Structure 1
Amino acid sequence: MTRLKRITLSLLTGATLAASCWLPQAIAANDAAAPNQFRNIYKSSVYGMTVTVTHELIPLDDNRHKLRFFADSLVASIEEVSIFSSPEDQLLQPQLYTYDRSGLGRDREARVTFDWEKRKVVNDINDNPWKMNVPLGTQDKVSFQIQLQRDLIAGKTENLAYTIADGGKIKEYQFAIVGNERLKTPLGQIDTVKIKRTRKDSDRITYAWMAPKYSYLLVRMQQEEDGDVYTINIDEAEIDGKKISSFN
């Protein structure tokens, strides 16, 4: 794979890894509430080629939501979708997760269907299905973002680890506080909390900058791997039907 293809694919893939939320105890907002819907757009550039990322939460019926992440460029695109329910006083329950990657000669489709009565998931990758047992509380690769956000709103700041059904395996995603930082963005300056996700079996490091003032909106994401750095920045934001034209 050429360097351009590798960087583009890493940026597209990395964009879906840090759209999560973090709020340290020092600035916890007691009156904060999780948004019922949002639509945010991020942009980056790879060798002059624009990469656009759309991150949106859409309310459905029966206390369900659809979370969608779509990263797109001239040469490739990746879409991840999670449909989940929100049982009262319980962890989110994913129902369906889909993944669709096209371009760069690496097309791939995946579908994960959750059966909570049997505590199983059916993984179907490129029309090759198989079943796997999962413990209660297991999230898919994007639903954990909303669960993490709700945990932080509830004041949980330690042991933020999530069991994920990922690639036919059960994995654990862990996060750590880095600090606070004021960022300059296309929408103005904003105070953020910087978080870090590390992996035991990889040199890849992902950072995310969240804005507590705006329901812990993801403002910037950065991924570092093998000496390369991939970054996306907020370009447009809308929360619960209200467009954010400026952070100032």
Structure 2
Amino acid sequence: MRHLLVFAFALFSLPALAVEPKPFSASYTADWKQLPVSGTAERSLRHLDGDNWQLSFEASMLVASLTEQSTFRVENTALLPLTYHYERSGLGKGKEIEHDFDWSEKQVIGNDRGTPVRIPLNRGMQDKSTYQLALQYDVAAGKKSMSYQVIDGDEVETYDFRVLGDDVVRTKAGLIDAVKVERVRDPTQSSRKTVLWFAKDWNHLLVRLHQVEKDGKEYQIMLKDGSVDGKPVEGRRD
């Protein structure tokens, strides 16, 4: 469930925003193939003040819950993370991570499950939430392949993606024209598979995610309803 609910990526160079940030909110169903019940997930972006924004994600299922929140600012068409907080409970041991991005001192300070974290902060690094906007905007810009760096706990990891093409996603809000994207992994290192769909007509809002873990477990989140810049998301009807 952890890998279904959180996707994290970041650019080597600061991502120029091809799409102007617009407030959004979205509700999803969260299904775990091995469980007979569905969960829910909420994702939102809201403007705080000036160039500052807040990106939030909450998910819950019968056996677990997760919250994730980032603040960031937009500076000269670049996205700079400021704070990051992640907390998971249930489904085994709980987990909590906090990061503060100090751009003046060029370092990330925080903790990962109680262990202090101090990582050099280089241009382009993102947290495990703000990646979503970097990827979203790169897809909107028409890029076909993307490579990101991300602060993941006490490490910096690289994530690669490629666009597979256009697709149509059937959601409770209607049929949504989308861009289909997959995470690129070395098959000799990982058998995990992740595919994401971004709505072409709705500022490339995430409308679906499907993941298969290396043990064969499958997860999916699917859009129920949402709004972008105050306008309700509506797809085509049959």
TM-score by length of 2: 0.86
Bigger share in strand: 2
Structure 2 Cα separation of the partners of residues 227 and 103 of structure 1:
21
Contact 2:28 2:42 in 1 (8 A): yes
Residue 95 in structure 1 maps to residue 79 in structure 2: no
Alignment of 1:103-122 (within 5 A): 103-122=90-109
SS of structure 2 residue aligned to 1:45: strand
SS of structure 2 residue aligned to 1:14: helix
Structure 2 Cα separation of the partners of residues 112 and 101 of structure 1:
15
SS of structure 2 residue aligned to 1:203: coil
**Post-superposition shift, 1:103?**
1.1
Q: Which residue of 2 aligns with 1:243?
A: 232
Distance 1:245 1:180, change over 3 A: closer
Q: 1:169-217, CA deviations, whole angstroms, 9 ceiling, x for partnerless residues?
A: 1111211111221222211112211100123332111101111111112
Q: Which residue of 2 aligns with 1:81?
A: 69
Structure 1 Cα separation of the partners of residues 134 and 232 of structure 2:
24
Structure 1 Cα separation of the partners of residues 211 and 7 of structure 2:
9
Q: 1:127-173, CA deviations, whole angstroms, 9 ceiling, x for partnerless residues?
A: 321311121111111111112333344x3515521111112111112
**Post-superposition shift, 1:245?**
4.8
**Percent identity of paired positions between Structure 1 and Structure 2:** 33
Bigger share in helix: 1
Pick one of 51, 57, 61 that aligns with 2:39.
51
Structure 1 Cα separation of the partners of residues 31 and 136 of structure 2:
28
Contact 1:18 1:221 in 2 (8 A): no
Distance 1:19 1:234, change over 3 A: farther
Structure 2 Cα separation of the partners of residues 13 and 111 of structure 1:
18
Structure 2 Cα separation of the partners of residues 186 and 156 of structure 1:
27
Contact 1:19 1:218 in 2 (8 A): no
Contact 2:31 2:219 in 1 (8 A): no
Pick one of 3, 15, 38 that aligns with 2:5.
15
Contact 1:19 1:208 in 2 (8 A): no
Distance 1:152 1:222, change over 3 A: closer
Pick one of 211, 219, 228 that aligns with 1:230.
219
**Post-superposition shift, 1:15?**
2.3
Q: Which residue of 1 aligns with 2:117?
A: 130
Residue 220 in structure 1 maps to residue 203 in structure 2: no
Structure 2 Cα separation of the partners of residues 37 and 48 of structure 1:
34
Distance 1:18 1:223, change over 3 A: farther
Contact 2:8 2:131 in 1 (8 A): no
Distance 1:230 1:213, change over 3 A: same
Structure 1 Cα separation of the partners of residues 192 and 127 of structure 2:
20
Gaps of 5+ in 2: 11-17
SS of structure 1 residue aligned to 2:135: helix
SS of structure 1 residue aligned to 2:136: helix
Gaps of 5+ in 1: 1-9, 21-31
Aligned AA for 2:47? P
Structure 2 Cα separation of the partners of residues 116 and 247 of structure 1:
44
Pick one of 49, 62, 66 that aligns with 2:50.
62
